[in-house]
Chain A
Amino acid sequence: MDGRFIESRIYETPKTYEAVKCLCYEAKEMQLASVQVFPCMIGICKKILDNTPVKINALISYPHGGFSIEQKAAEAKEAVEAGAEEIEAVVNTREIKSHNYDFVLREMSAVKKALPENIVVKFIIEMECLTGEEAAETARVAAKAGIDYISTSTGLYHALDSSRNDVTLYASAEDVKLLKDACGGKVKVQSVGYVDTPELAQSLIDAGADLVSTEFAAAVMGR
């Protein structure tokens, strides 16, 4: 597995500083593309990842994306000031579910405009909640807004089967293809979620994912 296609992520905060440091050292050692962390962790990451190719990607308005447009742009700016080289904001999914795509366009555009051009801007669109058409339309909006990546999920949710057992929602090649087709190659696609094997990661890349973000980076890298 080529580490340049893999991002290592911490998607919840009840972790120790040592867990954050471990994430960074692993990413550095495995030559991964980036680490995805919360803004409060940027300082720890910088000490380890400064002067390395591994980028620091900060989660913005995570996980519900419930900031106003202005607040989301402000938090993104603050994360960049703290040392983030990429930001990954959660889109306002409720506005997508309400088919208010103008709001989504304004939100994506405002965050992009608030940041220096060299900062990579990603938006999570929480495909678990969206129909195919809602996801496709959001991808088209993302292309119009000129953002760099759309991410498929926060990776937080699970479903229940008919016996009321938890069902893990795996990242899927179908989701990646849907977004790729919809945005016509104008926006990169990041597949996020429960990716725990090299085979699954490779299938996502084969489907067109430009990056796979996972909390199981070492397993995906075959370590």
Chain B
Amino acid sequence: MYDKEMYERACLSPFLDFCTNDVIELEMRDGFKHNVRSIIVEAYQVPLLKQIKKEFPDTATRIGMTDGYPFGGMTTKTKVRQALYACDEKLDEIDLGININALMSNDWDTVRDDLKAVKDAVDGRLNIAPVSWLVKLSLAQIDRLCELYIDLGITTLKTSAGLHFGSMKVDHVDYVHRHYGDKLDIEVAGRCRTRETAEAMHNAGASYFHMSQWRRICGNEHDYAFDYLSKTGGYSEYKDRDK
């Protein structure tokens, strides 16, 4: 895959706690410059994201915000309120935290009611990408969740919360694509940290990649990183537990 194609499949989320506002602005602006697939921010950052987007009137980059990310532990009422805010702001999509506590308890009615309330509230005005925690689920649970999405008219599956909640495998992508690829776009999140892994996932059926390491993976540049021991951050060489 060419760099340009990889950028066009990249989803950015410049909102981690250690970022300063100037870093957040730079990440947003550079995301638009590279025509990334989407920039997803936290709700308070929406006005800033929209303001920066105006600098790029011809951009194809989609904008969105998180809703109940990553744990989905908010009440349904809160998720609906946030989703309506996203609609009012005319965003393209939300990354929605599903009620994984209910799912792990096999309380599928609650999982469905929570999702449906948000789906009904947005009424087709934006795309919903549910955070699906595939790394925590059995294949039977994955099947049932995908069928629920399809039944509700949801067309995107975000594979995981990302952060450090487990590494997505090519096998996860392959499984979902083989069984539901005709109805669900697969947005990978969850420690996709090399170009080789991204390409293997793309070949297995992934459409987009939510990644903190977007500069390195797309264009072999340095990404912003924070050292919790020295409490300093900067654009630097990649360091991670994956050698």
Contacts and interface: CB of A to CB of B under 8 A. Distances in A.
B224 interface: no
B51 interface: no
B139 interface: no
Given A13-B71, A14-B100, A94-B17, A75 B78 contact: yes
Interface in A8-29: 12-18, 20
A207 B102 CA distance: 39
Given A12-B71, A40-B74, A67 B44 contact: yes
Nearest to B24: A94
B101 A97 contact: no
Contacts of B17: 64-65, 93-94, 97, 126, 129
A82 B73 CA distance: 13
Nearest to A75: B78
Interface string A93-133: 11101101000000000000000000000000010111100
A5 B22 CA distance: 40
A190 interface: no
A66 to B, nearest CB: 3
Contacts of B15: 64, 66, 94
Interface stretch (B148-156, B170-178, B204-212, B227-235): B227-235
A14 B100 CA distance: 5
Most buried by A among B16, B22, B73, B82: B73
A71 B85 contact: yes
B73 A166 contact: no
Q: Chain B binding site: helix, strand, loop or mixed by DSSP?
A: loop
Given A14-B100, A75-B78, A78-B77, A62 B71 contact: yes
B243 interface: yes
A130 B75 CA distance: 30
Most buried by A among B17, B22, B74: B17
B18 A68 contact: no
A167 B229 CA distance: 10
A17 B74 contact: no
Contacts of A39: 73-75, 78
A68 B82 CA distance: 10
Given A94-B21, A166-B241, A59 B73 contact: yes
Contacts of A38: 71, 73-74, 101
A129 B74 contact: no
A68 B104 contact: no
Interface residues of A, number: 50
A12 B239 CA distance: 26
B53 to A, nearest CB: 18
Contacts of A69: 44
B75 A68 contact: no
Nearest to B41: A66
A164 B240 contact: yes
B226 interface: yes
Contacts of B69: 64
A203 to B, nearest CB: 21
B181 interface: no
A161 B212 CA distance: 20
B74 A75 contact: yes
B21 A95 contact: yes
Given A40-B76, A158-B228, 17 more contacts: A13-B73, A13-B101, A14-B104, A14-B136, A16-B105, A38-B74, A39-B74, A40-B72, A65-B17, A66-B44, A67-B43, A94-B15, A100-B21, A156-B163, A159-B228, A165-B241, A169-B228
6 contacts: A64-B17, A66-B43, A69-B44, A71-B82, A92-B44, A158-B164
* Interface pairs A-B: 9 shortest CB-CB: A66-B42, A38-B73, A93-B17, A159-B228, A13-B71, A98-B21, A17-B105, A68-B44, A13-B101
